[in-house]
Amino acid sequence: MIAAKAFRLALLAAGTAGGLSGAAYGLLNEQSRYARRVIGPPANDPLRADGIHLPSGVGPVPRQELPADVEPLELAVLGDSAAAGLGVDFPAELPGVRLARGLAEELDRPVALITRAIIGTTSQELAAQVDAALIRPPELALIIIGANDVTSKLPVSACAELLGDAVRRLVDAGVAVVVGTCPDLGAIRPIPQPLRSVARHWSLALGRAQRRVVEASGGRAVPLADLLSPEFLARPGEFFSPDRFHPSAAGYEAATTILLPAMCAALGEWEGGPLPPAPTRSKAAEARRPTSRIVARLNRRLHLRADS
């Protein structure tokens, strides 16, 4: 669904901010149609493996198999297709399952996983998932969201505030909240340049705004773009699924490796080494930051071509 909407709306917003000429906007719009054709719609819905996962790595198992005096930790996963795990081939590869089993092993306690994430979700639809989660508040909630916001008409600040509202509601209900912020969409190779630079600029700006509001609202933010973008840029064949848009099992494993310590820390249970640092800007983003200069060069080339 992200690909179906593509980056047409992001182009409108980024073009307004970056001063694109009509010719440049036309080129970027054509590139967005090309990216939509290459990526295509999702071939199927994400797999599901909700239920109770044990410290031994077994699961999901029926609740009645637990001893009467054992109460599992309740984990809710909210957000978009990245939270739902679209792109993997087996239930054990789902990010929610990896995290549930990782938590169960770290805490030596069963974890009851419920996935409320839905493909195509933006920050506008996140409140409905929070409503469902708060019917029976979990102890811990993970939110991964932002990629679909890049294709929305809402400005970055509005999307971030909607996420902040969701985090505040969960925290006020006694839920520990961890948020994986917007990934770097500039790492997606089927998006041609200069459209890829526009997508990168927009997604990194959203990720920074998300991090600020999440931390101000009492949650823990994990900057996925900053921590994962170099790996996805360097190893796209391994870290992306066959659609070259959603992560592969290896990509999700990399993400859960950095999310798990933050989730344990949110529960006050992390006893491992130092948490991964959260840089203010990734090296990949810094190297590709001058989006306005890319736009200016594009406009010059188009004007020179028109005059020749």
**What is the maximum span of the chain, computed from C-alpha positions, in angstroms?**
81
CA distances to 78, 82, 115, 128, 251 from 48, rounded to whole Å, are 13, 13, 8, 20, 18
CA–CA gap between residue 93 and residue 83 (Å, rounded): 12
What one-letter code names the amino acid at 215? E
Cβ atoms of 44 and 53 within 8 Å: the answer is no
- Is 53 an annotated catalytic residue? no
Cβ atoms of 80 and 118 within 8 Å: the answer is yes
CA-closest candidate to residue 56, choices 8, 109, 4, 20: 109
Catalytic annotation, pick one of 81, 217, 229, 282? 81
- Is 246 an annotated catalytic residue? yes
Catalytic annotation, pick one of 203, 246, 248, 282? 246
Pair type for strands 140-144 and 111-115? unpaired
CA–CA gap between residue 153 and residue 283 (Å, rounded): 28
Q: What is the CB neighbour count within 10 angstroms for residue 71?
A: 12
Catalytic annotation, pick one of 80, 243, 248, 282? 243
Residue linked to tokens 């900057």: 223
Q: What sections of the chain are H helices per DSSP?
A: 2-5, 8-18, 22-39, 81-84, 95-107, 126-133, 156-172, 195-216, 224-234, 236-239, 249-266, 283-287, 291-307
- Is 32 an annotated catalytic residue? no
Q: Which residues of 219-237 are buried (b: 16+ CB within 10 A; e: fewer)?
A: bbbbbbbbbbbbbbbeebe
- Residues labelled catalytic: 81, 243, 246
